């Protein structure tokens, strides 16, 4: 199929053992994170995807990394030619429903968590932090948006912490639903131990939602001065950040202002233009 098209550049969107590009056609690959490789280094487990990734990286003419943190990890773990690598940050967009925002539909103020919850996402520490403070439990809910409903193990953990299904809830929906949740949340709490980029904090900042986030991996690179940081390994530190934003309207307002300003630095138009520059560089 690609031979019939005769492309000038092929940008592979996933890791294959063999290239789909016609012979002699330059190849670009995007590396989003090094999570499997970091896990293997820690736990000693090999990963088939990691082997294909290494092969794809080694044959690529240019490598796009979505953050400087990912670039650093790629250089450390795979040792590619650094001259091939270009860091291009991702962007974000929403359908624009906030031009006509709806009233908050949740019965109580709430903290918001977005995305997958297992392993390095560190949702367990967020649950423990929320449960550890009477004021948080009594006056605020915790909403987990996206991914699958709570597993049996998660429900057991919630029960063991003395929390109810009214306090800690799972919601799902489309981008418009998520945008409204951001708009009315007390804050997004993002306790991840590792991210190649981290879209939810960027979405939150662009939606006028205060961001409380981990100080690890790429997250400070993306959030900059737009968020309030904590050590994600410390339950007390997470709880303290939540208490601070819940108690200080001035802090919350400041985070909203700084977050909106930071989010303006990221757009899909800029991401596309910088990616196009990579293609042009290959053709000259």
pLDDT at res. 137: 96
**C-alpha triplet 229, 169, 247: angle, nearest 5°:** 40
Three-state SS sequence of 55-124: HHHHHCCEEEECCHHHHHHHHHHHCCCHHHEEECCCCCCCCCHHHCCCCCCCCCCEEEEECCCCHHHCHH
CA distance 109 to 82: 47
- What band does 217 get if pLDDT is binned at 50, 70 and 90? very high
- Beta strands (DSSP E) in 182-264 are 187-190, 211-214, 227-230
- What band does 103 get if pLDDT is binned at 50, 70 and 90? low
List the beta bridge partners of residue 30.
Answer: 64
CA distance 47 to 53: 10
Which of 28-32, 90-94, 106-110 has maximum average pLDDT? 28-32
Q: Is the pLDDT of residue 46 over 70?
A: no
**Segment 24-39, tens digit of pLDDT:** 999 999 999 999 898 7
pLDDT at res. 13: 86
Mean pLDDT of 7-30: 92
Helix axes 199-206, 175-184, angle to 10 degrees: 70
Mean pLDDT of the chain: 92
Q: Which pTM value belongs to this model?
A: 0.92
Mean pLDDT of 98-118: 79
CA distance 255 to 251: 6
pLDDT at res. 44: 54
**C-alpha triplet 138, 141, 142: angle, nearest 5°:** 130
Homologous superfamily of domain range 2-91+267-282: Glycogen Phosphorylase B; (3.40.50.2000)
Q: Is the pLDDT of residue 19 over 70?
A: yes
Q: Which fold has domain 97-263?
A: Rossmann fold (3.40.50)
Q: Is the pLDDT of residue 96 over 80?
A: no
Helix (H) or strand (E) holding 181: helix 175-184
pLDDT at res. 45: 58
49 φ, ψ (degrees, to nearest 5): -60, -35
CA distance 213 to 227: 7
Kindly calculate the radius of gyration of the chain based on its CA atoms and give it in whole angstroms. Answer: 21
32 φ, ψ (degrees, to nearest 5): -90, -35
Mean pLDDT of 109-116: 97
**Segment 147-170, tens digit of pLDDT:** 999 999 999 999 999 999 999 999
% residues pLDDT > 90 (the chain) = 82
**Phi-psi domain of 24 (left: phi exceeds 0; alpha: psi -120 through 50; beta: other):** left
**Segment 226-278, tens digit of pLDDT:** 999 999 999 999 999 999 999 999 999 999 999 999 999 999 999 999 999 99
Domain with CATH 3.40.50.2000 in the chain: 2-91+267-282, 97-263
């Amino acid at each position: 199929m690609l031979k019939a098209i005769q492309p000038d550049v092929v940008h592979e969107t996933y890791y294959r053992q063999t290239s789909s590009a016609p012979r002699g056609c330059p190849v670009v690959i995007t590396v989003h994170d090094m999570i499997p490789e970091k896990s293997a280094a820690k736990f000693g487990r090999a990963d088939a995807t990691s082997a294909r990734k290494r092969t794809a990286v080694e044959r690529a003419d240019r490598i796009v990394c979505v953050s400087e943190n990912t670039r650093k990890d790629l250089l450390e773990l795979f040792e590619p030619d650094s001259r091939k690598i270009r860091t291009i940050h991702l962007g974000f967009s929403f359908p624009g429903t906030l031009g006509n925002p709806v009233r908050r539909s949740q019965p109580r103020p709430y903290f918001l968590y977005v995305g997958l919850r297992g392993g390095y996402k560190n949702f367990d520490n967020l649950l423990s932090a929320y449960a550890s403070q009477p004021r948080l439990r009594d006056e605020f809910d915790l909403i987990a948006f996206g991914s699958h409903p709570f597993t049996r193990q998660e429900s057991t953990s919630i029960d063991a912490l003395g929390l109810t299904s009214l306090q800690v809830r799972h919601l799902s929906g489309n981008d418009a639903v998520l945008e409204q949740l951001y708009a009315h949340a007390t804050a997004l709490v993002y306790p991840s131990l590792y991210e190649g980029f981290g879209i939810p904090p960027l979405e939150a900042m662009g939606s006028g939602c205060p961001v409380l986030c981990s100080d690890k991996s790429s997250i400070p690179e993306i959030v900059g001065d737009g968020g309030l940081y904590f050590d994600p390994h410390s339950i007390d530190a997470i709880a303290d950040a939540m208490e601070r934003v819940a108690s200080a309207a001035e802090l919350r307002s400041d985070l909203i202002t700084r977050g909106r300003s930071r989010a303006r630095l990221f757009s899909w138009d800029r991401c596309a233009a910088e990616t196009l520059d990579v293609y042009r560089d290959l053709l000259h």
